[in-house]
């Protein structure tokens, strides 16, 4: 089920929502295929788009959701985790694989501090297991996407995590 929440009445966000719904209706691409980093997106929207993309990870092809998520990786994050094939392998690692094709996500309100944001997400897997993740975002100042919130890292929060702090 595709859920789109509009905030602040932004025309750009409204147009993005229409494009997402239209793409989903066509069925030939990922529901979030057209989503790109934008200065109009809030940290909560950036987190939600990535998590929603990963919930439908294999639509319309394997790892389509990971490809969408990679778009929101900050330049620093990409230097640490990219290129895309390496990022893809990292998401399939047991630390992060519960994000893939999950059945439910619950979002906490992001904590904003200047140009940084932390956003908690509780994932329910297809097996019913619940796993917490903390998304760390930063507002970009460079020319690539000035004013865009992008992901610096994701930390798994459950007790089973053996490599906590490892960034995506």
pLDDT in tens, 20-64: 444 444 556 777 888 999 999 999 999 999 999 999 999 999 999
Considering the entire predicted model, what is its pTM?
0.78
CATH of domain 37-156: 3.10.450.50
DSSP strands (E only) in 10-143: 104-107, 111-113, 116-124, 130-139
Give the list of residues 6+ apart from residue 103 with CB closer than 8 angstroms, or none: 55, 124, 125, 126
């Amino acid at each position: 089920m595709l859920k789109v929440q509009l905030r602040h009445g932004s025309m750009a966000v409204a147009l993005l929502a229409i494009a997402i719904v239209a793409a989903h209706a066509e069925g030939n691409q990922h529901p979030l295929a057209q989503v790109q980093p934008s200065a109009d997106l809030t940290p909560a929207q950036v987190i939600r788009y990535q998590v929603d993309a990963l919930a439908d990870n294999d639509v319309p092809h394997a790892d389509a959701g990971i490809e969408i998520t990679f778009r929101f990786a900050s330049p620093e994050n990409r230097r640490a985790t990219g290129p895309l094939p390496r990022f893809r392998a990292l998401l399939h690692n047991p630390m992060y694989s519960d994000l893939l094709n999950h059945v439910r996500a619950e979002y906490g309100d992001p904590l904003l501090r200047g140009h940084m944001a932390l956003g908690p997400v509780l994932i329910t897997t297809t097996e019913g297991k619940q796993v917490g993740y903390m998304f760390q975002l930063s507002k970009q100042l460079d020319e690539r996407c000035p004013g865009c919130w992008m992901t610096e890292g994701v930390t798994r929060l459950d007790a089973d995590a053996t490599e906590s702090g490892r960034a995506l």
